[in-house]
Structure 1
Amino acid sequence: MNQTEYKHELIMPNDSIPVKIFSFSAHNDLRIIPSHWHRSAEILYVRRGKLNIWMNKRKYELNRNDFIYINSKEVHSTQSPEDNEVIVLQIPGDFLKTFSNNESLYIHCNTLELKDNKIFSAMRELLYQMYLYSERKDDAYYLKVYSLLFELGYLLVKNFRVKEENIDIKSQKYLDRLSEICEYIKEHYQYNLTLNEVASEFGYSPQYLSRMFQMYTGSTFLTYLNSIRLNSAFKQVMSTDLSIITIAENNGFANVKSLNKLFKETYGLTPSAYRKSIKNDN
């Protein structure tokens, strides 16, 4: 079974070009990459298979040739429900300013909500060519990637930029705040973290924070916290020889029984049995 590592928080551009572009292929319909955010904008382009995305209080089911633009700081999570191939373009926040003369930039662009047209076809080709040139890395490839990137930026800004007066400022304010809360949880999930503690840290009542989480991530605070813990535990089960007890302790679980229960509910096996099955497959 092939597993793909997902690192979304700290995005480093490819060598010689100001963006990061890569592809991944993954199949684990039980594993959901937890809600997260980053300062880079991101385009996910499905070349093969399917990809599910949860964002802005709804679920997007992307099929072959679908793509979606995720704005900077938009909280989202992903799942690969079947074998797939996805091209990912991540554009750092500082570079985004070159697309908008240093003004704020909000893009609404996806093939699920908007009618497919020649612009989408052109964008697919630009994304694919950028990926090919970045992989090929022949002489002066970075110049070609730059030219394709600015052509893509032109299409995005000209056709899909949302005017500032049409942006839901209140929702954006909550998303900005929620991104800070998510970051705090990721930095403290190893400890005995509670809803009351996080609410107090950010000046909210537990009830208010609970409603905010449910509205903007589609999950409860505890579900989100456990998904962060489980995602980290999963990586340690797969890539280390640490005991399951140690992994439970490292990731904030009250005891190994709690980890075993959540792991089995998600992956169908206990951590020990899952680790053994992977070794047998290899």
Structure 2
Amino acid sequence: MNYKRFLIEPSPNYAAKIFRCPQMIDNFNFTLHWHRDYEFIYVKKGPLKVQKIDSQIVLNDGDVYFMNSEEIHSYCDVTDDLQFVVVNISPKILKPYFENPDEILTFEIKKGDACDKIAHSLKVLYECENLNDRLEILRIKAIINNISYNLIKYYKNPDISFVKGSDSDDFDCAKSALKYMEENYASDISLTEIANYVGMTPAHFSKYFKDKNEMTFLKYLRRIRLDHAIKDLRDSEMSVKAAALKNGFPNVNSLILTCKEIYGRTPIEMKQFVRT
């Protein structure tokens, strides 16, 4: 079966993406899809129906639900009457706190004090009047850290099983392409080169890649390069120009424009942001 893969852009202000309904109802009108982020749901006013591969979950007032990285899902019958918040947190943010940073951990949230704390944190995020207010941003960062702490501390479950979006047969070529880009992003990778690598014509690969990832090959490649460039800026005293050239950008202006396009900030602003 064919499932869409979404790439979720984190907020430029904090290491997560927050969607609220009914304010952002258009973000929930999708068929079955998956993404790399962990996903938290808190329902203030339900019922909210979450469709999975083999079941439908009905969430009522006050319920919390969690989905692991790459778990296939969609939201059903979302209307203006529903009130809920969805918070996406990238595994990249949590990896430094895993015992094995190369592993994507799985979790299972169960009833208890830690679950109540997560529910309270998600409720606060739903009720924030302005997610981009300077003072609120400070509080949101603390809340995201609190949610992440409780998840890692209390809910690791390596035995939980679910269908991963990347395991579908029609994603194999995309998976190979993504791995190739992750390993060679600093080089001058062309569309023809990567199409040959996965055994497709450039035109076919271009259409196939965008269909599987909701993003063009070049934009995805720039996104990988940007993530590595920002990491270099954060972890060292490297100049913006040096970070650009080291990570595959043709020049410093390309890095700056890509950073503004994705995060709405310059690389220097992102460096200052991630350090706070």
TM-score by length of 1: 0.50
On the 8 A contact 2:33/2:165 being kept in 1, the answer is no
Match of 1:59 among 43, 56, 59: 56
**Unaligned segments of structure 1, at least 5 residues:** 1-6, 185-200, 202-282
- Give the match for residue 269 of structure 1: none
Tell me how far 1:55 sits from its aligned partner: 2.0
User: Counterpart of 1:106?
Assistant: 106
Q: CA deviation at 1:138?
A: 3.4
Which of 90, 93, 97 is residue 91 of structure 2 equivalent to?
Answer: 93
Deviations 1:99-158 (A, max 9, x none): 42524211112xxxx4x4333321111112234458253334333222211111111112
**Partner of 1:37 in structure 2?**
34
Q: Which residue of 1 aligns with 2:121?
A: 126
Aligned partners of 1:146 and 1:93: how far apart in 2?
Answer: 16
CA distance 1:118–1:17, change in 2 (3 Å): same
Which amino acid in 1 is paired with 2:86? V
For 1:54, the aligned partner's letter is Q
Rounded Cα–Cα distance in structure 2 between residues aligned with 1:69 and 1:40: 11
Q: How many residues align?
A: 168
Matched residues in 2 for 1:33 and 1:123: separation?
26
Alignment of 1:108-257 (within 5 A): 108-109=108-109, 114=110, 116-133=111-128, 135-163=130-158, 166-168=159-161, 175-178=165-168, 181=171
- In 2, the alpha carbon distance for the partners of 1:149 and 1:97 equals 15
Q: Distance in 1 between matches of 2:173 and 2:130?
A: 32
Q: Distance in 2 between matches of 1:183 and 1:23?
A: 34
In 1, the alpha carbon distance for the partners of 2:42 and 2:5 equals 16
Counterpart Cα distance in 2 of 1:13 and 1:134: 19
Do the aligned partners of residues 121 and 156 (structure 1) sit closer, same or farther apart at CA in structure 2, a change above 3 Å counting?
same
Q: Which residue is 1:13 aligned to?
A: 10
Percent identity, please. 23
Distance 2:54 2:74 in 1: 11
The aligned amino acid for 1:85 is Q
Q: CA RMSD in A?
A: 3.5
CA contact (8 A) 2:44 2:84 kept: yes
Contact 2:50 2:73 in 1 (8 A): yes
Tell me the equivalent position of 1:69.
66
Secondary structure, aligned partner of 1:128: helix
Rounded to whole Å, the distance in 2 between the matches of 1:134 and 1:21 is 13
Letter paired with 1:50: P
Letter of the 2:98 partner, please give it: S
Q: CA deviation at 1:81?
A: 6.3
State the 1:62 CA deviation: 0.8
* Deviations 1:199-218 (CA, angstroms, capped at 9, x unpaired): xx9xxxxxxxxxxxxxxxxx
2:83, 2:134 → 1: CA distance? 27
CA distance in 1, matches of 2:60, 2:84: 10
**Separation of aligned partners in 1, 2:169 and 2:87:** 21
- The one-character-per-residue Cα deviations of 1:157-216 (angstroms, maximum 9, x if unpaired) are 1221113xx244xx65x64322854998xxxxxxxxxxxxxxxx9xxxxxxxxxxxxxxx
The 1:43/1:12 distance shift into structure 2, 3 A limit, reads same
Q: Within 1, Cα distance between the matches of 2:78 and 2:91?
A: 30
TM-score calculated relative to the size of structure 2: 0.51
> 1:51 is matched by which residue type in structure 2?
L
